[in-house]
Amino acid sequence: MSEITLISRELTFFDMEFKESDVSANDKLQNIINEVIEGGESSSTAHMILGSIDYDNKQNLNEKYYSIESYDESDKGLSISINNLGNLIDEPSEKKIKIVYYYYYNNSSHNLQIKGDNKNLKFDIKDFQMDAIVTNTSTENYDLLAVDASDGSEFFLACMFDDGHFINGTKLEVSSFINEVMGYLKEKN
């Protein structure tokens, strides 16, 4: 089979874990957020998104975000399925929070080089807000290489709590995000 181009969305993210006790005031949370943003701008990772995960069957896609571009007739009949390995970002440890900095590219392209004749590919994915995030780019059946990404979204922030609670906001509205996180911490403790 020839080289194939997959066009899809892409998630870029970075996360760090902190003790709840380190978040005792708005300015301390602001400093933590600044640290996470700085880390995200230098050390984030980007991953292709195959689609949205089916709520009732987490091993299926409810909606596919990708399209396949190939000019070789031998590539017809290619199918992609998923192997859901769980959450992309683990919940924080007890009495800790995770701050996540993330954004999307609405258009990204990846070269898919298929090894052998297998036309039924299974991608290992992890779940982030019900999106299927590709986590393994090289297997015995294929290699997936990022080529480019464009049309970026606004920058998002999220706070994950040890009880599973999730708050998200935007970098532009960081003060509202801080107030919501601090409010939940007070309510929780």
149-183 pLDDT, tens digit per residue, is: 888 878 999 999 999 999 999 999 999 999 999 99
Number of other CB atoms surrounding residue 151 within 10 Å: 11
Where helices occur in the chain by DSSP H, the ranges are: 26-43, 174-188
Strands 45-53 and 3-19, how do they pair?
antiparallel
Query: pLDDT of 68-126, one tens digit each?
Result: 887 676 667 788 999 999 999 999 999 999 999 999 999 999 999 988 888 889 999 99
Angle CA 97–99–103, to nearest 5? 155
The tokens describing 105, both together, are 């590219």
**How does the average pLDDT of the chain come out, rounded?**
92
Cα–Cα distance measured from residue 13 to residue 45, given in angstroms and rounded to the nearest whole number = 6
* C-alpha distances out from residue 95 to 92, 120, 137, 161, 185, Å: 8, 43, 34, 8, 10
Burial class (CB in 10 A: 0-12, 13-18, 19+), 120: exposed
pLDDT value at residue 75: 61
- Name every residue whose Cβ is closer than 8 Å to that of residue 53 and which is 6 or more positions away in sequence: 60, 61, 62, 82, 84, 125, 127, 130, 131, 132
Where helices occur in 56-171 by DSSP H, the ranges are: none
Cα–Cα distance measured from residue 80 to residue 145, given in angstroms and rounded to the nearest whole number = 16
The rounded radius of gyration (Å) of the Cα atoms in the chain is 19
Query: pLDDT of 17-29, one tens digit each?
Result: 999 999 999 999 9
- Judge whether residue 1 has pLDDT over 60: no
